[in-house]
Amino acid sequence: MGRKSLYLLIGGILIAYYIYTPLSDNIEEPWRLMWINTHLKTIENLVTFVELLGLHHIMDSLQVVWSFYEVPPTSDENVTVTETQFNNILVRVYVPKRKSEVLRRGLFYIHGGGWCLGSAAVNDYDLLSRWTADRLDAVVVSTNYRLAPKYHFPIQFEDVYNALRWFLHKTVLAKYGVNPERIGISGDSAGGNLAAAVTQQLLDDPDVKIKLKIQSLIYPALQPLDVDLPSYQENSNAPVLSKSLMVRFWSEYFTTDRSLEKAMLSRQHVPVESSHLFKFVNWSSLLPERFIKGHVYNNPNYGSSELAKKYPGFLDVRAAPLLADDKKLHSLPLTYVITCQYDPLRDDGIMYVTRLRNAGVQVTHNHVEDGFHGAFSFLEFKISHRLINQYIEWLKENL
C-alpha cells in the first residue's frame, strides 16, 4: 500500500470515528441523526474553541448560528402571520384565514434553546406554529424572551409571564377572536420549563381572571438540583443534547460564573439547608421501576451556601417547577407530557408526570421509546411529524 493510500485510509477511519454515534437499534433514520449530530457537534467544537481563545462567549456564537435559520413573518394561503409586541415582548401571531363562526382556541407557545438560544422566528418553530394554527383552527402566539448570557433568571421567566398575561386580557383575546375558555400553553425543552413555571405562577395571580385549560410540555427541563438522574447517566453523550451541554445551559440560565457549572457536575451546588427540596426530585421514589433498573440512588452531596446565596435562582420554583409542593400541583390544568427515551431530560418529565398524578391532575404521558431530544422540533425527521400529529390530535380533543 502506497503512502498516499495509507493517509487516505487513516483519514477515512478518523472521519468515520468522528461521525459515528452509538445509537440504539430502535432509532429511526439513524444515519440522518448521526449526520445532524455531527453537524451540531462540529459547530459546538468550533464555538468552544473560539471561547477558549477568549474571543466570544459560546452561547453568543451559537445564537449567531441559530439566527441563520430564522425566517420573516410571512403569511401563506392558510395562515396570516404577524409580528407584534405583547407588553414589550416580541411575539408572532398565527391566525387561520378561513372564516370561523365561533371563537377559536388559543395556544401560547414558548420555544426551546436552553434559555440561551433560538427565537419564534427559527424556521422549524415557524412551521410548527403554522401547522398548529391551521390544523387546530387556533390562534397561536409564539413568544420570544430575552436570552442568556446577556440576561439571566428571572428575566426569561418574567418576559414569558408578562407576554402571557397580556395575551390573557379580554380585549386582546377579543381582538384575535379567541375563546377565553379554550386557551392552552405549550413549550419544548427550556420552553417546556417556562410553560410549566408560568402555569404555576398564574394560579397565584389575582389579577388574571382567565385561566389556562391545558398545558403541553415537550421534553421539559424541570429541575437543576440533581443532574445525575438515570437519564443523565444513560444519555450523558446522547445525540443533540449531552449531559455536559445541558448542565452548561442550566448554569448559564443563572450566571456566567463557571463555578456553578463545575459544582453542578460534581453534585455540590445545593447547600445542606436546602436538603428538604430533594424530596421533590428523588428519582428512587418518583420513577417507575423500569427507569430505575440498574441504578442505585445515592444521597446528595451538599455544597457551601455561597453559590446559593449568589445565585438563588437554581433553588427557585420559578426556575425549577418540580420543586412546587403538592398543594400547588393539585390546582394545575389538564396536562400532556412528551418524554424521549434517549434524552438526559427524560426523567425530569417522568417525575413531573408522577407528581402531577399523585396530586390528582389528569395527565396524558406520551413516552417515545425511539425518541431523542429534539425529536419533536427537528422537522426533517419522520419521528417529528409523528409526534406533531399526536400532539395536535391531543389538542383537538382536549383544548
Share of the chain above pLDDT 70, in %: 94
- Smallest CA-to-CA distance from 121 within 97, 139, 94, 98 is with 94
305 in a structural domain = no
Q: How far apart are CA 77 and CA 137, in angstroms?
A: 14
124 in a structural domain = yes
- Smallest CA-to-CA distance from 351 within 243, 184, 231, 261 is with 231
53 in a structural domain = no
**Structurally, how many domains does the chain consist of?**
1
Q: How far apart are CA 379 and CA 208, in angstroms?
A: 35
What is the CATH number for 319?
3.40.50.1820
Least confident of 27-31, 225-229, 395-399: 27-31
6 in a structural domain = no
Instruction: State residue 332 phi and psi, 5-degree precision.
Output: -75, 155
Where residue 129 falls among pLDDT bands split at 50, 70, 90?
Answer: very high
Choose the catalytic residue: 61, 119, 142, 189. 189
Question: What is the predicted pLDDT for the residue at 75?
Answer: 98
87: containing domain: 75-224+315-398
pLDDT of residue 46 exceeding 60, the answer is yes
What DSSP string describes 279-331? Answer: GGS-HHHHS-HHHHTT----PPP-B-SHHHHH-GGGG-TTT-GGGS-HHHHHT
The amino acid occupying position 364 is: T
Note if 189 is an active site residue: yes
Average pLDDT over residues 282-311: 93
Note if 205 is an active site residue: no
Dihedral angle computed from the Cα positions of residues 317, 165, 329 and 342, in that order, rounded to the nearest 10 degrees: -70
Mean pLDDT of the chain: 94
Task: Name the strand (E) or helix (H) holding 345.
Answer: none
pLDDT of residue 316 exceeding 80, the answer is yes
Strands 334-342 and 214-218, by their bridges, are parallel
Average pLDDT over residues 2-26: 58
Least confident of 114-118, 279-283, 365-369, 374-378: 374-378
138 in a structural domain = yes
Where residue 17 falls among pLDDT bands split at 50, 70, 90?
Answer: very low
Which residues, at least 6 apart from 248, have a Cβ–Cβ distance to it below 8 Å?
58, 114, 261
Cell of 40: 451540531
Choose the catalytic residue: 343, 347, 348, 377. 343
Note if 348 is an active site residue: no
pLDDT of residue 288 exceeding 70, the answer is yes
pLDDT of residue 367 exceeding 60, the answer is yes
46 in a structural domain = no
pTM (2 decimals)? 0.95
288 in a structural domain = no
Choose the catalytic residue: 57, 152, 269, 373. 373
Peptide bond preceding 154 in cis form (omega within 30 of 0)? yes
Peptide bond preceding 149 in cis form (omega within 30 of 0)? yes
Where residue 14 falls among pLDDT bands split at 50, 70, 90?
Answer: very low
Cell of 160: 414569558
180 in a structural domain = yes
